[in-house]
Amino acid sequence: MTTRRKLQLLGFFGVVLGFGLMAWTALGSDDESQQTVLTELAAAADVAVPSPDAPNDFPAVIDSAVRDPATHAIPAGTSFEIIETIPHDSAAFTQGLELLGDRLFESTGLVGESTLREVDPDTGSVLRSISVDNVFAEGLTIVDDTAVQLTWLDGVAYRYDLDTFEHIDTYSYEGQGWGLCDNGLQLVMSNGTPTLQLRDRETFELVSTIDVEFNNTPVDELNELECVNGKVWANIWKSSLIIEIDPSSGKVTAVLNARTLTPDSVEGSASKVLNGIAYDERDDTYLITGKQWPVMYRLRLEVIG
């Protein structure tokens, strides 16, 4: 091999290595930024920070109480009272939860196990269910007399008749589908990034986007959503945090740490995490559960600040 050829190969491998280092650095920076955001949000809720022995396990926070609300600035800490503990299907990989009056609807995921179902909100019993074949079903919302359900990687959303679960329409979108809620004017959709998408309620066309930030840092991995009184509540995936977002600014306005709600039977699981928020406007309470959790909680929240 000639000296010139050797130099060309060295140059090529140098470029490859350089790009690899740049990508690794960027990914590491994103992870560090997200961990910083989670830690600061936990502090806003006046909770313990992650254990130094488990830096990647944010659910290691151990305290959900807001002990000194007078010291809190925006975002406000949020305390909760458990009104009721309700059984929940421990096989249900919950991706979306939605109340309409006294009726509860749930979307469950995993390829080959995805469903749309109606659940008794008092007993947790599954009243009816249909399989959503060959996709990983995701977030769910109710739009008038229909249900709209996302998929994770398939780039399609399904609309169903709420009373019969008959499939009415299919919509396409780019990227992943995570959470979905209806604010009465538009649908709000998450895709695992810090950007929420606003979509037309009828056509599902993308209208605009909202970048969610805390302390000028993007809040990543926004998951299950619930639209409540002009705000958006969002689970942060793989954490015990639920944040309230002002969609007009993208700012986090309140934070709830639900760490103490995690059932002992799923403690430490990487997949069986908090995911499921449904607002009950009849009594101003929330139903909260998680993926394959054996229980669902009815909570009354109090935003302090």
Is 169 among the domain residues? yes
Is 135 among the domain residues? yes
Phi and psi at residue 240, to the nearest 5°: -100, 10
Q: How do residues 184-234 score in pLDDT, each as one tens digit?
A: 999 999 999 999 999 999 999 999 999 999 888 889 999 999 999 999 999
Alpha-carbon distance 81 to 197, whole Å? 31
Instruction: Return mean pLDDT, the chain.
Output: 82
pLDDT of residue 53: 36
pLDDT of residue 55: 34
Is 194 among the domain residues? yes
Q: Which residues of 232-262 are buried (b: 16+ CB within 10 A; e: fewer)?
A: bbbbbbbbbbbbbbbbeebbbbbbbbbbebb
Is 48 among the domain residues? no
Is 26 among the domain residues? no
User: What is the distance of C-alpha 212 from the center of its chain?
Assistant: 13
Task: Kindly report the CATH number assigned to the domain that includes residue 257.
Answer: 2.120.10.30
Number of Cβ atoms within 10 Å of the Cβ of 21:
10
Q: At a CB cut-off of 8 Å and minimum separation 6, what does 185 contact?
A: 201
Alpha-carbon distance 58 to 144, whole Å? 37
Q: Which amino acid is at 208?
A: S
Alpha-carbon distance 99 to 181, whole Å? 11
Is 6 among the domain residues? no
Q: How do residues 149-186 score in pLDDT, each as one tens digit?
A: 999 999 999 999 999 999 999 999 999 999 999 999 99
Q: How do residues 106-129 score in pLDDT, each as one tens digit?
A: 999 999 999 999 999 999 999 999
Which structural domain range is residue 123 located in? 58-304
Is 88 among the domain residues? yes
How far apart, in Å, do the first and last CA atoms of the chain sit? Answer: 72
Global pTM reads 0.79
Alpha-carbon distance 224 to 80, whole Å? 19
Is 196 among the domain residues? yes
> What token pair was written down for 31?
């992870």
Q: What is the DSSP letter of 91?
A: T
Alpha-carbon distance 33 to 217, whole Å? 7
Q: What is the DSSP letter of 294?
A: S
Q: For the chain, how many structural domains are there in total?
A: 1
pLDDT of residue 240: 86
